[in-house]
Amino acid sequence: MKTLRLAVLPGDGIGIEVTETTLPVFEKLGVPVDVQFGDIGWEFWKKEGNPVPERTWELIESSDATMIAAITSKPHAQAMAELSQELRETGVSYLSPVIQLRQRLGLFANVRPVFSIPGNPRQIADNMNFTVIRENTEGLYAGFDFSPIPDELFEFIQRKKGARSSWQMESPMDGAVALRLMTRDGVKRLLHFAFQCARDQGYPRVTWVDKPNVMRESGQFCLDILEEVAAEYPGIPWEVQNVDATAMWMVRDPGHFGVIVSENQFGDILSDLGAGLMGGLGLAPSANLGAEKAYFEPVHGSAPKHAGKGIVNPSAMFLTTSLTLKHHGYTDQADAIQRAVASVIEEGKVLTYDLGGNATTREMADAILARL
Amino acid sequence: MKTLRLAVLPGDGIGIEVTETTLPVFEKLGVPVDVQFGDIGWEFWKKEGNPVPERTWELIESSDATMIAAITSKPHAQAMAELSQELRETGVSYLSPVIQLRQRLGLFANVRPVFSIPGNPRQIADNMNFTVIRENTEGLYAGFDFSPIPDELFEFIQRKKGARSSWQMESPMDGAVALRLMTRDGVKRLLHFAFQCARDQGYPRVTWVDKPNVMRESGQFCLDILEEVAAEYPGIPWEVQNVDATAMWMVRDPGHFGVIVSENQFGDILSDLGAGLMGGLGLAPSANLGAEKAYFEPVHGSAPKHAGKGIVNPSAMFLTTSLTLKHHGYTDQADAIQRAVASVIEEGKVLTYDLGGNATTREMADAILARL
Ligand SMILES: CC(C)[C@H](C(=O)O)[C@@H](O)C(=O)O
Ligand SMILES: CC(C)[C@H](C(=O)O)[C@@H](O)C(=O)O
């Protein structure tokens, strides 16, 4: 086997502890890896004024695979107070490192599997097996968010305002605006990816989720592309749902879904909802994929409240490792990790608090490792 | 008791059958009402080219209270085919009647209670008692949705694009854009409403839901207003959550919430999710409230698939009637309806299919009426 050059970016908070306890998995599985740790997150913002230092971009560039554990996306007030006077005065703001990575590396597909595990005490159904694919670079996260409203936009809004609206704005200071932007190329590559995923992994259908009954123009723009793309995958059933209805049906009948594909913000919401159906973020892995690069991370955040206590569930990180290996061709090893996590949960003896147990992060990780 | 002048707009699809079976409730309760039926929805678009005829606006204007049952928001392809050649050629599009009402009447607060009912076989938890308050006139539903992208916006976007983005657009035809617009007055009145609701109804906390970790500017705009408004309600605990996390926590720990208050689109998603937690849209009522006017409706739509079969759950319409009465001061009668619905569900004998039974709409309605 070829050695996998692996960039590991533990990041902030609980990222450190889930990384530490999960990394032995490669040796256990006999997958030859060359692990290089990389710097990312709030600590490097504090020290260097840059949460993704240039050396980290280089490391990612020169690695076969990148795994991230958890990174502060927006510092809390307390964290802000730790900043040096100097840094505070630059007025530069801390941009979410994961969003920087997704945009700069063109990782347009954020893939988030949702699945039942026999015996999982917290899941709401035992027939879940779908994947949420979230557009990862545009939509409401494209970076066009303003307050006060820029003059050009303010004038545009006042001009188009129409009599039917009840709200008023006197000046650009009286409002805020964010743009939900979709591009033809962006929607097209996303949908191709979704249909290919359904085909390759045998999912029963593709569900495009948007709100075309209200957002008629951008909605129709996407529907036209959907029809075009779907026609290239004749065997795959597809449907359109309104995002509100999807949120309801994911709870009521999660077994219905195969691939759910959506805009960035909607996908963000639905994938966390999916994690909720599984019993929380402790079990939810994700892959951020582009045409060339990729990185893998648990859906959970840095959870400052829990950091350093050694109590969080390491499963999401194990399952993230599984996605990483699968993406790089180590299918058997990837499956083995999934089975090991499932078997520890099914046995129900060594579980962290989120699954109703009182094991530590290390104890649950060791239980998983022991089954490999 | 003063006679309540009630405008009843049955609308489309299942709207007709749930209205018919629910209306006897007023007589049963001894509430004197003068019911005037009003025309609204797809039928009137087909006949008159206007889904909310002028006479309906007048009826609403001259009534004390307005109840809607269900209205087509966006016609399906089949419905479109029924349109006259003439109407199709005008190129005027069918605008969602409920959005027209919300905007023109300034009904800024869409109130959607979520609650457990002892014995409800489909709810996911038995300790739910919260209300989703959704902004109802602006946000992503403010009506600024475009494809192709208008020239002014296209230039603006190209100019601000920044190097970090991976997407490309060559021409305004290559994209679509929708604006999420929040105004200071709009956010302020919404938040006052939410805090007053928490205070008056004794909810344990107010949760403001947005995505300020990504939408920093519009997010902060709202947070500033939130701090200001919250300061006027010193006894009421409040918190801020990211919308993705809220979707997860609503499943994991719905008992935590009191008032959830959010932008139009996020509130749309979270309130349908709330209905999902209750076991579906069959039980979810809503109130659309403004400074002067109001209308009340079930959260469910016209459900063309089920229309005319007489099988859907009338409970949402009964509970909508309950909200209507409560709003107009008939508190005891409103409570009686709630108790009657709950008692039929708790008994579990006369339930529609969505609750696992096989009763018809009329049978379940009659069972509810029999308990009043
Ligand atoms: C941290 C944040 C920027 C991020 C997002 O919303 O994309 C996170 O919630 C996620 O889902 O990966
Ligand atoms: C029909 C549609 C316009 C409406 C909305 O999204 O507001 C509906 O889904 C609702 O929730 O009342």
Residue A89: enclosing H or E segment and its boundaries? helix A85-90
Q: Is B268 at the interface with chain A, CB within 8 A?
A: yes
Residue nearest to atom 6 of ligand 2 (CA): B268
Averaged pLDDT of chain B: 94
Question: What is the atom index within ligand 1 of the atom nearest the CA of B242?
Answer: 9
Q: How far apart are CA A96 and CA A266, in angstroms?
A: 18
CATH number at residue A88: 3.40.718.10
Average pLDDT value for residue range B74-83: 74
Print the domain residue range for B157. 145-178
**Half-sphere CA count of A308, side-chain side, radius 13 A:** 3
Confidence of residue B339 (pLDDT cuts 50, 70, 90): very high
Q: Is A51 at the interface with chain B, CB within 8 A?
A: no
Residue of B209, B211, B213 to mutate, ligand 1, most atoms within 8 A of C-beta: B213
CA A345 to ligand 2 centroid distance, Å: 40
In percent, the amount of chain A with pLDDT more than 70 equals 98
Q: Is A153 at the interface with chain B, CB within 8 A?
A: yes
Is the pLDDT at B191 greater than 80, yes or no? Answer: yes
Q: How far apart are CA B300 and CA B286, in angstroms?
A: 10
Question: Which residues line ligand 1 at a C-beta cut-off of 6 Å?
Answer: A 73, 96, 98-99, 268, 299, 301; B 213-214, 244
pTM score, two decimals? 0.96
CA B287 to ligand 2 centroid distance, Å: 13
E strands in chain A: 4-11, 33-37, 65-70, 109-115, 129-135, 145-146, 175-183, 206-210, 238-242, 259-262, 285-289, 294-298
Residues B2 and B97 in one domain: yes
| Per-residue model confidence (pLDDT) at position B89 | 75
Is the pLDDT at B187 greater than 90, yes or no? Answer: yes
With CB atoms and an 8 Å threshold, state whether A248 touches B280: yes
Q: By mean pLDDT, which of A288-292, B12-16, B47-51 is the weakest?
A: B47-51
Is the pLDDT at A163 greater than 70, yes or no? Answer: no
Is the pLDDT at B203 greater than 70, yes or no? Answer: yes
- Sheet hosting strand A4-11, strand order edge to edge: A33-37, A4-11, A65-70, A294-298, A285-289, A109-115, A129-135, A259-262, A206-210, A238-242
Is the pLDDT at B87 greater than 80, yes or no? Answer: no
Is the pLDDT at B73 greater than 70, yes or no? Answer: yes
**Contact indicator for A206, A198 with CB cutoff of 8 Å:** yes
User: Integer distance in angstroms from the first to the last C-alpha of chain B?
Assistant: 18
User: Integer distance in angstroms from the first to the last C-alpha of chain A?
Assistant: 18
Is the pLDDT at A91 greater than 70, yes or no? Answer: no
Is the pLDDT at B9 greater than 80, yes or no? Answer: yes
Average pLDDT value for residue range A170-192: 97
Residues B191 and B264 in one domain: yes
Q: In chain B, how many domains are there?
A: 3
DSSP state of A354: G
Q: By mean pLDDT, which of A27-41, A313-327, B68-82, B203-217 is the weakest?
A: B68-82
Average pLDDT value for residue range A15-23: 97
A152, burial (CB in 10 Å: exposed 0-12, middle 13-18, buried 19+): middle
Average pLDDT value for residue range A117-125: 95
Question: B297-307 burial, b for 16+ CB within 10 Å, e for fewer?
Answer: bbbbbbbbebb
| Torsion sign across C-alpha atoms A307, A309, A310, A313 | negative
Is the pLDDT at A245 greater than 90, yes or no? Answer: yes
| Per-residue model confidence (pLDDT) at position A86 | 78
Let me know if residue A146 belongs to a domain. Answer: no
B chain contacts of residue A166, beta-carbon cutoff 8 Å: 103-106, 108, 137, 290
Is the pLDDT at B181 greater than 90, yes or no? Answer: yes
Q: How far apart are CA A364 and CA B208, in angstroms?
A: 35
Which residue in chain B has the smallest CA separation from A136?
B166
Let me know if residue A178 belongs to a domain. Answer: no
A242, β-bridge pairs = A210
Q: How far apart are CA B93 and CA B104, in angstroms?
A: 17
- Find the Cα–Cα–Cα–Cα dihedral A271, A276, A278, A280, rounded to 10°: 110
B139, β-bridge pairs = B181
Averaged pLDDT of chain A: 94
Q: Which of residues 271-290 of A touch B (CB under 8 A)?
A: 271-273, 275-277, 279-281, 290
Residues B100 and B163 in one domain: no
Is the pLDDT at B207 greater than 90, yes or no? Answer: yes
| Per-residue model confidence (pLDDT) at position A79 | 72
Let me know if residue A23 belongs to a domain. Answer: yes
Is the pLDDT at B367 greater than 70, yes or no? Answer: yes
| Per-residue model confidence (pLDDT) at position A81 | 75
Strands B206-210 and B238-242: parallel
Distance to chain A for B173, nearest Cα, Å:
8
Average pLDDT value for residue range A355-369: 97
For residue B184, give the nearest of A93, A175, A181 by CB distance.
A175
DSSP state of B34: E
| Per-residue model confidence (pLDDT) at position B164 | 58
CA B268 to ligand 2 centroid distance, Å: 7
Is the pLDDT at B107 greater than 70, yes or no? Answer: yes
| Per-residue model confidence (pLDDT) at position A136 | 97
pLDDT in tens, B136-150: 999 999 999 999 999
| Per-residue model confidence (pLDDT) at position A102 | 95
Is the pLDDT at A92 greater than 90, yes or no? Answer: no
Question: Between A84 and A346, where is the model more confident?
Answer: A346
| Per-residue model confidence (pLDDT) at position B79 | 72
Residue written as token pair 């889930």: A18
Distance to chain A for B57, nearest Cα, Å:
13
Let me know if residue B98 belongs to a domain. Answer: yes
Is the pLDDT at B296 greater than 80, yes or no? Answer: yes
With CB atoms and an 8 Å threshold, state whether B276 touches A250: yes
B chain contacts of residue A42, beta-carbon cutoff 8 Å: none
CA A115 to ligand 1 centroid distance, Å: 20
For residue B248, give the nearest of A185, A215, A272 by CB distance.
A272
* Tokens representing residue B344 in the block: 């039929």
Please indicate whether residue B354, judged by its CB atom, sits closer than 6 Å to ligand 2.
no
Strands A285-289 and B129-135: unpaired
Please indicate whether residue A248, judged by its CB atom, sits closer than 6 Å to ligand 2.
no
Average pLDDT value for residue range B211-219: 95
For residue B272, give the nearest of A160, A181, A244 by CB distance.
A244
Is the pLDDT at A164 greater than 70, yes or no? Answer: no
Residues B262 and B346 in one domain: no
**Contact indicator for A315, A282 with CB cutoff of 8 Å:** yes
| Per-residue model confidence (pLDDT) at position B31 | 97
| Torsion sign across C-alpha atoms B163, B165, B166, B167 | negative
Q: Is B243 at the interface with chain A, CB within 8 A?
A: yes
Question: What is the atom index within ligand 2 of the atom nearest the CA of B264?
Answer: 7
Q: Is A292 at the interface with chain B, CB within 8 A?
A: no
Let me know if residue A196 belongs to a domain. Answer: no
B chain contacts of residue A174, beta-carbon cutoff 8 Å: 183-185
Which residue in chain B has the smallest CA separation from A175?
B183
Let me know if residue A208 belongs to a domain. Answer: no
DSSP state of A173: G
For residue B178, give the nearest of A105, A173, A180 by CB distance.
A180
Which residue in chain B has the smallest CA separation from A276?
B248
Let me know if residue B21 belongs to a domain. Answer: yes
Q: How far apart are CA B43 and CA A163, in angstroms?
A: 25
Which residue in chain B has the smallest CA separation from A123?
B252
Let me know if residue A73 belongs to a domain. Answer: yes
Q: How far apart are CA A14 and CA A10, in angstroms?
A: 9
Distance to chain B for A24, nearest Cα, Å:
30
